[in-house]
Structure 1
Amino acid sequence: MTHSSRRLRRGAVTAVAVGTLIVPIAGGTAFGAPAVIGSAATSTEPPSPSASPSGGVRALTPDVTRQLDVTVQQVMRQANIPGVTVGIWTPDKGSYVRSFGVADKGNGQRMSPDLYMRIGSETKTFTVTALLKLVDEGKVSLDDTIGEYVDGVPNGDKITLRELAGMRSGLFNYSEDPGFFTALTSDPQRPFTPQQLLDYSFKHPVLFPPGEKFYYCNTNLILLGLVVEKESGRPIGDYIQKNVLAPAGMDQTIFPTGAAFPNPHAQGYTNQTANGEVADTADWNPSWAWAAGAMISTLNDLRIWAPTVATGVYPDGTRMISPATQKQRLTTPPTTIPGAGYGLGIFNVQGWIGHNGSLPGYESLTIYLPSAKATLVVLLNTDINYQGSEPSTVVGEAITKIVSPQHVFNLPAQPAAH
């Protein structure tokens, strides 16, 4: 298997340090503020953990803001990141919204906070939310087996919906299959059906008995997407839009049915190509990720989503998920990732709850720190690794070392599963 193939299966669809496909409003900088372009700057040492107040987040003072500006731009230079947007919001310690670098290397268009971006595996949080709403409606049970809904699944009479959502099914990850990598990179605009994706997985033997261990796997989410469609009677994108996005007031988040990408959007840059050369991926068809990673969103919508998914409560105070079901979602058994727990389609990393996302050319991170009611969103237009880490990992860790030194989001890249 080629190096690029290994990167695709991990960086574009697994859980890795602050990025994955395959992981709150206050006064401050306005979303419409001019973008800040990266420039030369010297490094600044992060504050000691004692600088963090109760709740775990520092006040976003002018000094802290300047330190964030310097640090983000330094990481961009080191990791060769074309463009990044960062948003931090707290109820009483200020906010920080900045864009650095370029959205399009061809024409020099600046990165800006209003751009649509592909969010990769953050899609999993929406797919699992749809499933949990069906649980609350009594249409499915987390302890149902997948074989009750989808035929032909290896161990389908044993694997539960809970084990699929919690990444403990034992099924092979279709995006690790060499034939899949060849098919995708030879024609990135081609559409894939969910059944085609499952076929890449099911030709491999299961890796372990259900529930035995944690293994981040996109196959699980394709199956859950099919369950949502079967039991709701609607395409998953339609169900999510009506039952999750609209009640949250998220009108800039989309489950695409093809390669269409709303404007304005950033171009994306990857080296996960057939020849390993860097390519612009904005027109790649994300159907290969479907319910595991196809969605598109914006900084503003993800600012809404971070506390909503972490608490199970919509911005208007109504429940998105029942307290009992949300409690199950946030139960995070140990994983193979040091310092991280994974519940039902959601991470808990050093207290930060949410998910990262990575699709060829794009990475994202949307997380919420309940102790401080703080939200962090990071959006990038590259997924090219830096010293073995995804670029969103490097950015997210650098930011949280400054703003929440007692809660550093240090999700390490996940190793190969076998």
Structure 2
Amino acid sequence: MNSHRLRLPRACVIVAAASVLLVPAAAGSASATASTAPQSAPAPAPVPHADEGEFPELTPAVAAKIDKAVRGTMRETQVPGAIVSLSAPGKGSYVKAFGVADKQTGAPMTPNLNMRIGSVTKTFTVTALLRLVDQGNLGLDDTIDRYVSGVPNGERITLRQLAGMRSGLYNYANDPDFNKQLDTLPTKPFTHQELLDYSFKHGIQFAPGSRFEYSNTNLILLGLAIEKVTGRPLQDVMKDQVLEPAGLSSTIFPTGPELPEPHAHGYTDQTTSGKIEDATDLNPSWGWAAGAMISDLDDLSSWARTLATGTVLTPDAQAERMDMQPIGIPNASYGLGIFDVNGWIGHDGSTLGYESLVVYLPEAQATLVILLNTDVLTEGKEPSAFLGQAVTRVVTPDHIYPGPQPVAPLRRG
């Protein structure tokens, strides 16, 4: 295994590769479960488009187009199971599960399953940080050396730069020694200092604030800063400061490999054998504040709106989060633990066996959540990006979630 990952948002993957690398009740709603996993990968059929213009009513006819787009994309990418949710005020909702949650038993995917969410965790960690800013416990322009000692350039790197991926610190997940250790002991619980050591031995990559480069190291440091300020474990702070205020009852920050029932099994090819294997019970400690969290469709659909509108923060703190900065490609920018990609605001995530896309389109107040039980690439490209593009081509042709791009050889993000 040479490339486990908490992968970058699709827009951020491009930057990394370049630099190294919804229906009114009367109309009815679509909510069902498909129980057959795609077995072959023929060329995908043309995706039906909605009319140009405003977000459509999610009528049965539109739902059928989404179904066709999702099924065709799943065949193309050989995704075992997917959950898709789309909604907008006055337009209705679409909630549907496709394929299988467990390839061994054939158990179908259902909309209520718990899933690992990878780098969507970053949105929660940064929200916890901003809650503490609101409460006057720390400042975004504080330097990280106030909270964590031994950080290269720590007297110059601010919390804002860490949250905005502009610190200049090397991404520990790209370190060959880290990858070798994770390959050898995939159930090993990594300490936070071990993760930082893999990064710090590489020194500074660029001057703080001078450019964007996605790095999981940044979030480990923010998690430690939160613990230092509060004197409490991050999982407890997350519950009190973010999950409870946001009304999220099914989202957890795990302390071990546990994955609550019911859950989908996750499948990865990032194994020593190179074969697709069940990654459900692998320890996510290597992701911690950057990518260890677990959630479900209902919570993430709610969180997409909360994240984009800032309902658990003061307006000033939300404005800081949404101060989007260019990342070097058209129609894409990154704020503090959040992206704007062609109008869709949120984050995506990829970890061993699972992928997620949690985004919100402000002009339509539309929420899109896609959850997959695989992180296996298709021709070097993310399955979640394929699905995001397929759905948005149907419903928001003016705001298509960008299509899949090749992932850099070291692709933890």
Q: TM-score, normalised by structure 2?
A: 0.91
C-alpha separation in 2, matches of 1:400 and 1:292 = 27
**Is the 1:270–1:360 Cα contact (8 Å) retained in structure 2?**
yes
Deviations 1:47-74 (A, max 9, x none): 26xx1333xx222122211111111011
Aligned position for 1:185: 183
**Is the 1:310–1:353 Cα contact (8 Å) retained in structure 2?**
yes
Change (3 A) 1:173 1:238: same
Q: Please state whether the residue corresponding to 1:371 is helix, strand or coil.
A: helix
Structure 2 runs not aligned, ≥5 long: 17-21
**Is the 1:116–1:265 Cα contact (8 Å) retained in structure 2?**
yes
Aligned position for 1:8: 4
From 159, 163, 166, the equivalent of 1:165 is: 163
Change (3 A) 1:267 1:104: same
Aligned position for 1:46: 48
From 338, 347, 360, the equivalent of 2:352 is: 360
C-alpha separation in 2, matches of 1:416 and 1:339 = 24
What letter corresponds to residue 326 of structure 1 in structure 2? Q
From 297, 300, 317, the equivalent of 1:299 is: 297
Change (3 A) 1:274 1:390: same
Q: Please state whether the residue corresponding to 1:184 is helix, strand or coil.
A: helix
C-alpha separation in 1, matches of 2:354 and 2:76 = 18
**Is the 2:301–2:369 Cα contact (8 Å) retained in structure 1?**
yes
Change (3 A) 1:34 1:16: closer
Q: Displacement of 1:26 after TM fit?
A: 6.9
Aligned position for 2:174: 176
Deviations 1:325-345 (A, max 9, x none): 101101111003442110000
C-alpha separation in 2, matches of 1:184 and 1:381 = 20
What letter corresponds to residue 4 of structure 2 in structure 1? L
**Is the 1:18–1:394 Cα contact (8 Å) retained in structure 2?**
no
RMSD after superposition: 2.4
What letter corresponds to residue 213 of structure 1 in structure 2? R
Aligned position for 2:376: 384
- The 5 A counterparts of 1:160-239 are 160-239=158-237
Structure 1 runs not aligned, ≥5 long: 314-319
Change (3 A) 1:59 1:37: farther
**Is the 1:335–1:341 Cα contact (8 Å) retained in structure 2?**
yes
Aligned position for 1:410: 402
Q: Displacement of 1:35 after TM fit?
A: 4.3
- The 5 A counterparts of 1:237-316 are 237-313=235-311
C-alpha separation in 1, matches of 2:254 and 2:84 = 24
Task: State how many pairs are aligned.
Answer: 399
Q: Please state whether the residue corresponding to 1:384 is helix, strand or coil.
A: coil
What letter corresponds to residue 356 of structure 2 in structure 1? S
**Is the 2:81–2:97 Cα contact (8 Å) retained in structure 1?**
yes
C-alpha separation in 1, matches of 2:12 and 2:35 = 22
C-alpha separation in 1, matches of 2:263 and 2:294 = 10
Aligned position for 1:108: 106
What letter corresponds to residue 377 of structure 1 in structure 2? V
Q: Displacement of 1:228 after TM fit?
A: 0.8
Change (3 A) 1:235 1:288: same
**Is the 2:80–2:103 Cα contact (8 Å) retained in structure 1?**
yes
From 354, 366, 381, the equivalent of 1:374 is: 366
Aligned position for 1:342: 334
C-alpha separation in 2, matches of 1:108 and 1:18 = 35
Deviations 1:354-391 (A, max 9, x none): 00010010000000111001000000000011122110
**Is the 1:17–1:390 Cα contact (8 Å) retained in structure 2?**
no
Change (3 A) 1:143 1:194: same
What letter corresponds to residue 355 of structure 2 in structure 1? E
C-alpha separation in 2, matches of 1:395 and 1:413 = 15
Q: Displacement of 1:37 after TM fit?
A: 4.0
Q: Please state whether the residue corresponding to 1:303 is helix, strand or coil.
A: helix
Change (3 A) 1:36 1:58: farther
C-alpha separation in 2, matches of 1:238 and 1:34 = 35
**Is the 2:160–2:336 Cα contact (8 Å) retained in structure 1?**
yes
**Is the 1:13–1:217 Cα contact (8 Å) retained in structure 2?**
no
**Is the 1:19–1:363 Cα contact (8 Å) retained in structure 2?**
no
Deviations 1:378-416 (A, max 9, x none): 000000111221100100011111111111111645657
C-alpha separation in 2, matches of 1:25 and 1:189 = 44
What letter corresponds to residue 384 of structure 1 in structure 2? V
**Is the 2:33–2:98 Cα contact (8 Å) retained in structure 1?**
no
Aligned position for 1:82: 80
Q: Displacement of 1:38 after TM fit?
A: 5.5
Deviations 1:307-350 (A, max 9, x none): 0010011xxxxxx1111110110111100344211000001011
From 119, 122, 126, the equivalent of 2:120 is: 122
C-alpha separation in 2, matches of 1:175 and 1:266 = 25
Deviations 1:186-206 (A, max 9, x none): 111110111110011011121
Aligned position for 2:19: none
**Is the 1:189–1:285 Cα contact (8 Å) retained in structure 2?**
yes
Q: Please state whether the residue corresponding to 1:157 is helix, strand or coil.
A: coil
- The 5 A counterparts of 1:116-155 are 116-155=114-153
C-alpha separation in 1, matches of 2:208 and 2:102 = 44
**Is the 2:24–2:58 Cα contact (8 Å) retained in structure 1?**
no
What letter corresponds to residue 271 of structure 2 in structure 1? T
